[in-house]
Structure 1
């Protein structure tokens, strides 16, 4: 489950996306340079091998560790794309290109947002969409919608199998979530039950409301951290955990998703800027500047096992402790975090400098949380079913110190 929003102005487009997936489904930032390919070359996507094009653009991707495709990303030409799972009455294919594959292929092959829409349409016609998209449940699959933007504007592209609907965003706010939103297309194809379970209408209405008052990237960072009107911490329902807000927290008995990465961009004819967490739960994390053409060494690529060598899992130590009692623990460091982000937005540092400072801050914030009394038996104020849910995921990931808690988790990686 995810949420993506754009604000289209005369000389600027603002873009923001939360990627919501399974809690241990670590997401990494990956840079790919522009490349020339020989005639007849092929590219292995998550489940399919398809013909490669002669040239692919430089891209920066935020992708689940086990997939070839990405949840969101940007290319060297200022194109950004975010995708959403949508639930339709059209048949689900056992194999095909995943929505994440389509997103990456569009960024690698298109020089504008309009071209990216055409790339996705062409790939769907040629190869279709399908195949497992879940981490804990590899059989979980769905159709996809996309928000595609560049400095000149934005498009919504929605799918049901190989059928497609496209809407040009001419101005103002537009968001997509886990339901079809182009009215005629939705009337023909939407699955009303699964769409309702995703709680996408609640999140979409809230994100559009907040985006209407957004002046810049800082406002969109706060939109992605939103837990709902008047709330500083998640509200959990027994059925779907914290799926009712853009900053999503897992812990339901029937449906679950956790925000595992976040992205904000400002696109204008004079230049683009990108801000990412590179970590889960933006309410606990820090947005840092990145550039498509400036790769960073962020440590070991994460998997579904806790690993202090990876950026994503280093932050998880803080995230998972804080969420036991967020009303008490988040204020220990968020004022400092907010001040750092405000300073960076006014005068963006080099990405390497920002990530280095972020590492220092993360260590300091972990110490503050530990000093607040979190040790062998920390207090957990969440509902009992939420605690049980996270105890199981922590065990799968090896977050606990007990050697018997370690293990590879339920996921696996497809053949490269």
Structure 2
């Protein structure tokens, strides 16, 4: 289960953010994809799951219909081609959510994550992505099984944003409804569009989209309503900045301790629910520029948000381009995250203060070069901050108490 939000602070400053909640121990890597066609041909995935065979064949059958000209910074599970979230070189950001309909989910439909990534590589603007996504769904359908270890069959909602506008898309089979965002919005694992859509392919435009298609039982168990309501309440109650947005993504819904289950924006596995926040991403839009902040690892409540920007000097950051290196990068930060979660009280007393200070330092240093518009200087700074983050990771892991770093259960 996941949570995605957009927030327009003013005409010049806005945010996109998502926490991706996936099966425990599913690996999700984050990197800069410049050749999606090569990735599809080589299929360099850690696992080839039978459940992905039919959706992958559907993806391959339509892939050559598009040129895929745009580079995208994506966060994706390693067993599929598609992405949970991402932003492309033009600042188009997209996140998707599983939503549960009363209609049957076909096994051979396109996965929502594949749809999302296709849009990132082929669209520049939010409205263009809306048209692209809804057309794909109408022509080719959606479906498949998006679960890693467990089965998870669903349709999709999408939150699509560029510099100036954002849209929510909600779907059921090949039907869709779109609502334009006014100033702030959040989506989770629950239908939210009722009669307030700005466009739809329904023949009867008097239909309440949520009431017509939502599986209320599944929506109840996902706790998407509670998480969405909490996020919206936070967006309404404060003048959000990057620091408070990070705290929101780390939130256990106002509680200082980690809780099991699906009610928290920062999700952790429980006795029954085996999901966790596997990756977290923020896009910070300022005037005509945007910067990315990402964990590249599970559990934002303990993880460090690291910076990235699209520049001509991105070749310096090898871990963001080579898939094997991206997998190793994820593993290192995953071990850090699991160590901190496994020794949570120790983290609070010995690591949290330094982590927060490092993030504040990173944000302030990035702010200083925003107006410079010097790609070389910006890329050099990001590389320096990346090295600083790596030093912090090494020391924190080395000095942490011994403990199990896999299948950690939070008490």
Q: TM-score range by the shorter chain?
A: 0.7 to 0.9
- Corresponding residue of 2:12: 11
- 2: CA distance between counterparts of 1:334 and 1:286? 10
Specify whether residues 148 and 96 from structure 1 end up closer, same or farther in structure 2 by C-alpha distance, changes over 3 A only. Answer: same
- Corresponding residue of 1:251: 270
- 2: CA distance between counterparts of 1:321 and 1:35? 34
- 1:221 corresponds to 2:231: no
Q: Which aligned pairs between 1:236-247 and structure 2 lie closer than 5 A?
A: 236=260, 241=261, 243-247=262-266
Tell me the SS of whatever aligns to 1:196. Answer: helix
Report if the CA contact (8 A) 1:248-1:259 is conserved. Answer: yes
Report if the CA contact (8 A) 1:31-1:292 is conserved. Answer: no
- Corresponding residue of 1:175: 186
- Corresponding residue of 1:31: 32
Specify whether residues 73 and 149 from structure 1 end up closer, same or farther in structure 2 by C-alpha distance, changes over 3 A only. Answer: same
- 1: CA distance between counterparts of 2:327 and 2:5? 32
Which of the two has greater helix per residue? 2
- Count of paired positions: 363
Tell me the SS of whatever aligns to 2:31. Answer: strand
Which one of 130, 138, 145 corresponds to residue 125 of structure 1? 138
- 1:150 corresponds to 2:181: no
Structure 1: runs of 5 or more not aligned: 384-416
- 1:297 corresponds to 2:298: no
Report if the CA contact (8 A) 1:29-1:63 is conserved. Answer: yes
Structure 2: runs of 5 or more not aligned: 44-54, 195-207, 367-377
- 1: CA distance between counterparts of 2:99 and 2:403? 41
> Offset at 1:289?
0.9
> Offset at 1:321?
2.9
> Offset at 1:75?
0.7
- 1:352 corresponds to 2:383: yes
- 1: CA distance between counterparts of 2:159 and 2:104? 23
> Offset at 1:11?
2.3
- 2: CA distance between counterparts of 1:174 and 1:309? 32
Specify whether residues 33 and 369 from structure 1 end up closer, same or farther in structure 2 by C-alpha distance, changes over 3 A only. Answer: same
Tell me the SS of whatever aligns to 1:174. Answer: strand
- 2: CA distance between counterparts of 1:278 and 1:200? 23
Report if the CA contact (8 A) 2:279-2:297 is conserved. Answer: yes
**Cα deviations by residue, 1:190-233 (Å, 9 ceiling, x for unpaired):** 1100101001111111111222324322221111100122x222
Q: Which aligned pairs between 1:57-136 and structure 2 lie closer than 5 A?
A: 57-136=70-149
> Offset at 1:149?
0.5
**Cα deviations by residue, 1:12-35 (Å, 9 ceiling, x for unpaired):** 221110000012111111212278
Which one of 289, 296, 321 corresponds to residue 339 of structure 2? 321
> Offset at 1:357?
1.3
- Corresponding residue of 2:283: 265
Report if the CA contact (8 A) 1:130-1:143 is conserved. Answer: yes
- 1: CA distance between counterparts of 2:287 and 2:33? 23
> Offset at 1:332?
1.3
Specify whether residues 102 and 197 from structure 1 end up closer, same or farther in structure 2 by C-alpha distance, changes over 3 A only. Answer: same
Q: TM-score with structure 1 length normalisation? A: 0.81
- 2: CA distance between counterparts of 1:261 and 1:327? 22
Tell me the SS of whatever aligns to 2:319. Answer: coil
Report if the CA contact (8 A) 2:92-2:124 is conserved. Answer: yes
**Cα deviations by residue, 1:118-137 (Å, 9 ceiling, x for unpaired):** 11011111111011211102
**Cα deviations by residue, 1:232-287 (Å, 9 ceiling, x for unpaired):** 22112xxxx3x11110111232x331111100111244211111111111111111
- Corresponding residue of 1:205: 229
- 1: CA distance between counterparts of 2:162 and 2:326? 36
> Offset at 1:153?
1.3
